[in-house]
Amino acid sequence: MKFTNGFWLMRKEYEPTFAVEYAGHEVDGESLVVYGVAKRITDRGDCLNIGMLTVTFTSPMEDVIHTEVTHFDGKAGKPVRPVIYPAERTVTVTEDENTLTYQSGAAKAVIAKASGSWCVAYYRNDRLLTMSDYRNMARMLNRDTGESYMVEQLSLDVGEYVYGLGERFTTFVKNGQIVENWNEDGGTASEQGYKCIPFYLSSKGYGILVDTLGEVSFEIGSEKVEEVQFSVPGETLGYYVIAGEDPKGTVSRYCELTGKPALPPAWSFGLWLTTSFTTNYDEETTSSFIQGMADRDIPLHVFHFDCYWMRAYRWCDFIWDPDTFSDPAGMLKRYHDRGLKICVWINPYIGQMSYLFKEGKEKGYLLKKTDGSVWQTDLWQPGMALVDFTNPDAAAWYQGKLKALLDMGVDCFKTDFGERVPVKDIQWFDGSDPADMHNAYTYLYNRAVFTLLEQEKQKGNAVLFARSATVGGQQFPAHWGGDCSATYSSMAETLRGGLSLACGGFGFWSHDISGFEQTASPDIYKRWCQFGLMSSHSRLHGSSSYRVPWLFDDESCVVLKEMVELKCRLMPYLYQMAAVSSETGVPMMRPMFMEYPGDRTCLPLDMQYMMGDSLLVAPVFRENGEVEYYLPEGKWYNLMTEELREGGKWHTETFDYHAMPLMVAPGRILALGSCSTKPDYDFASGVTLAVSWLADGECAQVTIPDLCGKPVMRAEAVRRGQEITVTVQGGDGSWQTKALWDKDAVIRKEGNQAVIALSEGK
């Protein structure tokens, strides 16, 4: 939302109240309250007939400062805020003649006290991160409507880039964009987002979280080009400044504050196959898909039933359509006997034909209008209503319906929708502001389902396939990118969305392989299979056509099989990266700048990414197989072509459908498992410790997890001259090792140690 007419003038309808000058402060326990008046004070008469902003500084944890700016404190209602998890911290307030300093850990807010020089500058130790100074912090009153908005503008440094703000499919670097924090079901080809997160990450390493789940309007260098502006309706605006040591440290701190991702079960990292959306299917159809995959030796691990497992017009009643599935419990058992896990589609909407509508209406579990009637619409399902998850009894009622499915044999749920939440003439059970609850709803919805899965399946066995999210939603993995199209452009925008979402601590993310809308060409299908299997979670799904590979061409079956088998072999590494994500909040899929913040070439890159700290993935986005990709400094090894590439520069190569740039970073040990048919096995048994390029004197370490993500084996490799010594702790002794770039190296293994004698020149 814009308030100015160029740099000098305000828009005629807005009356600003800027913080212009320091007018005093108070220390209240661990809080610092500072008063900023709206004009320079030269005598006592200036103290009359002016506005004032009250700015309160607090800290929920080390390295994090919360700033709250208030105009009128008596306004009814408060914003719906994210759930946060405070931690121990030490706060200090110091003062000298010209400044006040509020400090928590390495984070500092320095407030200028000098006359006519209002400024709040944020530091990490002595390094300036950003600041709010002249005509930045304000309340804006719309004279025409009487609406009030609170505004903050934080400075952008020269060459500073802004990322994140949720799953955004627009340009990865957000500078110059207007971003509305308002969840919408808009597909991947628009500026709208299913997962709107009012948190942005700076290339300088810090992050800003606006402290509301409601509407926030961002102008990222698009109103004042040297500043990020964010505004909210009302009389209060709060935000957290998160001063991590680098982008990964800030994302980790953000997840400590708002919740770390749960660790999904290892089986969920395998291949998911679905019925697709509006296709015709019954048990014979689904069984033919499962058998077709087996006939072609393509490992399959999860089968998903989309919407029409229920009867038309009755979504959701959670009853299998008897015309197509006469024995659902028996069918699920038969599929379990084949080693499959089962997922079914659900959403929070209750159509009027569903028996649950009457039940929910009578019990008061459905969202109501201000006149006390049930809110309903014909959009999506005839006469549908919305479960009111602000009512604990309604949430328990909904969970009870899902528990019956879990008892039948369902293992997990695809929690679709959660964005189409009304705001006009709405009354929530707990009295929440309807505009704020629009985004907050998805948190309550997915939390209810995920909590049930943790209770019924035990922690470590719970996983969702969720579309909508807000702050804190990263705790309930996994998420997928929504409705993309079967084009290379849509594949690229899908990747941009995933990278943007990763900046908000979403550790586990997927997408519809080959696109949801339309049907991909065999070329796009194969290239998307490569991208999809190098994502944390991998699902074949579409709208009106099936996604089994033999419907595209024979080579699609081969490519899919190769990629699934490769992912299964990578599981010792991938699951360790998953455990790191759960423990720290640092996502599995990482934008290049997050892993290499000191390399300026990495700052805008959005067509490649790091999968964990050791694998660089550059999907192919052209029919001719050509791909341009950048490698940071060092010698990188392509795991698929077995070729070494020099870093610190760009590469242009052409790949057939059986390869892509899948580059192992230098100075790493890549753990390759002994099983290529399933993702959940004993990762340490028979593991291959594949050492990437090590310089003389360089050392690398790796940890191998069990199926709970706990370390069971550790290895270290040290190069001295032409020898690499690998030392192992734990495991059953069945491990082996190799130097990726030297096939002719001689390996001597004895006990828990092996020596790799490199070939001359290697």
Strand partners, 727: 716, 753
- Give every CB contact of residue 127 below 8 A, 6+ residues apart in sequence: none
Taking Cα atoms as reference points, which of 518, 569, 580, 506 lies closest to residue 544? Answer: 518
**Per annotation, catalytic residue among 483, 523, 595, 653:** 483
Question: What are the structure tokens assigned to 703, written together?
Answer: 């940890």
Which residue is associated with the tokens 């048994």? 685
CA dist 192 → 181, 189, 415, 439, 446 (Å): 9, 8, 19, 13, 20
> What is the distance in angstroms between the CA of the first residue and the CA of the last residue of the chain?
59
Which residue is associated with the tokens 């000298």? 96
What DSSP state is assigned to residue 595? H
**Per annotation, catalytic residue among 388, 416, 493, 595:** 416
Taking Cα atoms as reference points, which of 199, 10, 4, 245 lies closest to residue 107? Answer: 245
Question: How far, in Å, CA of 310 to CA of 315, rounded?
Answer: 7
Taking Cα atoms as reference points, which of 184, 185, 183, 221 lies closest to residue 200? Answer: 221
**Per annotation, catalytic residue among 419, 433, 606, 742:** 419
Please indicate whether residue 732 is annotated as part of the active site.
no
Question: Counting beta carbons within 10 angstroms of the beta carbon of residue 199, is it exposed (0 to 12), middle (13 to 18) or buried (19 or more)?
Answer: buried
CA dist 461 → 252, 262, 453, 455, 468 (Å): 23, 10, 8, 10, 21
Query: What H or E segment, with its residue span, contains residue 494?
Result: helix 488-502
Question: Counting beta carbons within 10 angstroms of the beta carbon of residue 547, is it exposed (0 to 12), middle (13 to 18) or buried (19 or more)?
Answer: buried
Question: What are the structure tokens assigned to 23, written together?
Answer: 């007018």
Helix 554-569 with 571-584: angle, nearest 10 deg = 60
Please indicate whether residue 416 is annotated as part of the active site.
yes
Q: How many CB atoms lie within 10 A of CB 404?
A: 11
What DSSP state is assigned to residue 279? -
> Is the CB of residue 265 less than 8 Å from the CB of residue 463?
yes
Question: How far, in Å, CA of 560 to CA of 673, rounded?
Answer: 19
Buried b (16+ CB within 10 A) or exposed e, 270-279: bbbbbbbbeb
Which residue is associated with the tokens 């649950």? 356
Please indicate whether residue 282 is annotated as part of the active site.
no
Which residue is associated with the tokens 């009012």? 198
Question: How far, in Å, CA of 78 to CA of 628, rounded?
Answer: 49
Could you give the residue numbers annotated as active site? 416, 419, 483
